[in-house]
Copies of this chain bind each other. A is one copy, B any other.
Amino acid sequence: MYELMLNLEEKAKKCLYEQIYEHMKGEIQRGNIRCGERLPSTRLLAKQLDVSRSTAQLAYEQLLSEGYIESVPCRGYFVCQMEELYHLEPEILPKAEQEVSAPADVLYDFTPNGIDLDHFPYAVWRKLSREVLQDDQKELFHLGDPRGEYALRSVICTYLHQARGVNVQPSQVIIGAGNDYLQMLLSRLLGTRRRIAMESPTYRHAYEIFRGLGHDCCTVSMDQYGMDVEALRTSGADIAYVMPSHQYPMGIVMPIKRRQELLRWAEEKEGGYIIEDDYDSEFRYIGRPIPALQGNDTHQKVIYLGTFSKSIAPAIRISYLVLPLSLMDKYEEIGKRFSCTVSRIDQRILQLFMERGYFERHLNKMRALYKSKHDVLLAEVRQMKGVRRILGDRAGVHILLQMAGERSEEELIRRAREAEVQVYPLSEYCIDDRAYEPTVILGYATLTEEEIRRAAERLASAWEM
């Protein structure tokens, strides 16, 4: 019988039974106690180690639970027959790591993906979050409706109706943690291997996600009015992914005629759908916001995708999907299984933020702010030598520049980078290999007006040479 050699530490952090358990487990793992070997009874073990019998019992219980030893009635405890002696092989331990931070050789970054967070109403957000957490509201910590909170969906409907001309009921709204997730969910509702038509250039991320989910994504040519519906018809696609209010990155607004043609296509196409990505319809500098395509959809063919990433902040991670009635059965069947991915606390904060008018005020403030940055950048760019065309300057938070001369995007970007200014290539958004004019993208949301001026000066001299 095996006799335990163990110095117990009375004052150790680990209690006595744990010390015994760990010692014996180690001995078994190292092969020092052989399989099949009989172990002392709990009474004997207690005596050997000078501990109470219940301590010995606890140690054995744990070894029993994990399957290292077994208890044979009337005979005692034995080390289990393992498949083989259990030698831990040297582990491929991942290297210890540290957080990596971004390189800092860019002074002015015209990223088209950022937003201005200097003017976020932190105090309001804090106040609302305090209020939401105030009353120990238990139910907020229980799992909620898979579609998201009714109250939030309801206030989103009101907003969509007023601001976007979208007519829906709360049951059609699905809250989700960002567009990526909602695209995954939508993909489940649409079924496998759909043929999805996209413009090029487009929001490349959506393209990659749909393709990654096994869909067949094709590109359809685009003219000054947006996706070419004739080309769409011959593409064999049954789903069209468009951004009619403000195409990204080209900034094209789809006129009513093209919208009608597109809707007609979807009506005629068996199983046809239009995915309307209405990602930044809020920021328009001339006139009112362009209404959503969804508002003209009389045949339940438009799937509307909205987000608060641009209008509030990307990190709050709240987007929503508005399903046409024709997809509601599919949602009930499949989609409801997926729990809502946004915390109920965050949903409640956003609900109050919208209900109490903070959202509208914030949008108005940001619209004025972005307009003023927009005007500064436009004024600078218009003075710049060699600018051939400015595109997409009526809405959104970026513009596109085409320069005179033969310079490639790479060269324009390289020269800008040498002046510590980062601008972005249009080619990043192109998902086909059609030839197009070298174009750079300048996002101005994250820069201050003064920074925009200084950066534009640097660009002017970098591109002049």
Interface status of A291 (Cβ within 8 A of chain B): yes
A190-222 vs B, CB cutoff 8 Å, 1 = contact: the mask equals 001000000000000100110011100000000
Name which residue of chain B comes closest to A82, CB basis. Answer: B257
CB distance from A157 to the nearest CB of B (A): 10
Interface residue total, chain A, C-beta cutoff 8 A: 106
Interface status of A264 (Cβ within 8 A of chain B): yes
Interface status of A8 (Cβ within 8 A of chain B): no
Q: How many copies does the complex hold?
A: 2
In the assembled complex, the Cα of A334 lies from the Cα of B184 at a distance in Å of 14
Which of chain B's residues have a CB closer than 8 A to the CB of A89?
298
Q: Which of A91-109 contact B (CB under 8 A)?
A: 91-97, 99
CB distance from A206 to the nearest CB of B (A): 11
CB distance from A31 to the nearest CB of B (A): 14
Name which residue of chain B comes closest to A296, CB basis. Answer: B88
Whether B144 pairs with A288 at a CB distance below 8 angstroms is: no
Interface status of A76 (Cβ within 8 A of chain B): no
A127-161 vs B, CB cutoff 8 Å, 1 = contact: the mask equals 00110011010101111100000110000000000
Q: Which of A276-323 contact B (CB under 8 A)?
A: 286-288, 290-291, 296, 298, 300, 309, 313-317
Chain A interface, >50% SS class: loop
A120-B141 contact, Cβ under 8 Å, with A125-B133, A341-B341, A346-B343:
yes
Name which residue of chain B comes closest to A344, CB basis. Answer: B315
Residue from the set A99, A253, A340 with the largest chain B CB neighbour count within 10 Å: A99
Interface status of A414 (Cβ within 8 A of chain B): no
CB distance from A228 to the nearest CB of B (A): 14
Whether B140 pairs with A130 at a CB distance below 8 angstroms is: no
Which of B115, B129, B170, B334 is the one whose CB lies under 8 Å from A133? B129
In the assembled complex, the Cα of A258 lies from the Cα of B209 at a distance in Å of 39
Pick 6 A–B contacts, CB within 8 A, sort by A.
A65-B286, A81-B257, A141-B313, A141-B316, A180-B339, A214-B214
